[in-house]
Every structure is written in C-alpha cells, then in structure tokens.
Amino acid sequence: MADVELTGGLRNAMERGYSLNRAIQSFINAGYNPQDVQAAAALLSQPSALPLVHPQSSSESETSLSKLSQPPQPSASPSKFSLTDKVKSILEGMDRGTKILIAGIIIILVLTLGAIFYLLLAG
C-alpha cells in the first residue's frame, strides 16, 4: 500500500500547481522508491481520493487544467524579502565545500584588510 506521506506530498505538489507527472518525477529524484511513488499516484487518480469541487463550465475547467501544468509563480515580489532571507536562500543551495571555501576567502580578506590598516596606522 502507498505511503500516506507520498500521497499527501503528491497532492500538495498538485495543489501548488505542478502536474502529477512532474510531482512523481520529483519524488523519484529525491530518492523515493519509484514503485511506492507510482502506487501513491494511482491512489490520487481514484475518484474517492480527490477532493470534491464545485462543477465548472468547460472554459473554467480548461483554464484550471492549464494552470495545473504550469509551475507556480512566486506570490511575493523580491523587494519584500530582506537581505538575510536572500542570503539564506543562496546558502541553502550551496554544498558544504562551497560554503567552507567562501568562509575561508572572507577570513583571508578580513585578515588582509586588518594588516593593511595596521601598517597604515603604525607607519
């Protein structure tokens, strides 16, 4: 039987605007067992697993389907994020080695600037 976490995750991805196929591939790429992901997707395709919605006209239905196949758009404008949020999002995308390299460069830069100011003030 499919995992409740997988079914909920796939449903969540679809509610955010991703297609079912794209959500399935994301879970498989993240390391989930492909058979488990496919079983969870099969549960979602059953009529009883889908939430009840109000009937729509055919044009509204087509619009909704086209929105589901497109990735979600960011809701907030970039100017609303603080600098620390931007730095955090950049750092989350980096691996450990890159973070260590950047920290090393910053330390060397600070030490070099300190030495320059020391020489200017002492001399």
Residue-by-residue pLDDT tens, the chain, 123 positions: 457 888 888 888 888 888 888 888 988 898 888 998 898 888 887 765 445 444 444 454 445 445 544 555 554 444 455 777 777 777 777 788 888 888 899 999 999 999 999 999 986
Name which of 45, 43, 13, 50 is nearest 28 in CA terms: 13
3-class secondary-structure state, position 56: coil
Token pair in block for residue 86:
């931007």
The pLDDT value given to residue 61:
46
Sequence-distant (≥ 6) Cβ neighbours of residue 19 within 8 angstroms:
68, 69
Confidence (pLDDT) at 47: 64
What residues contact 11, with CB distance under 8 A and at least 6 apart? 44
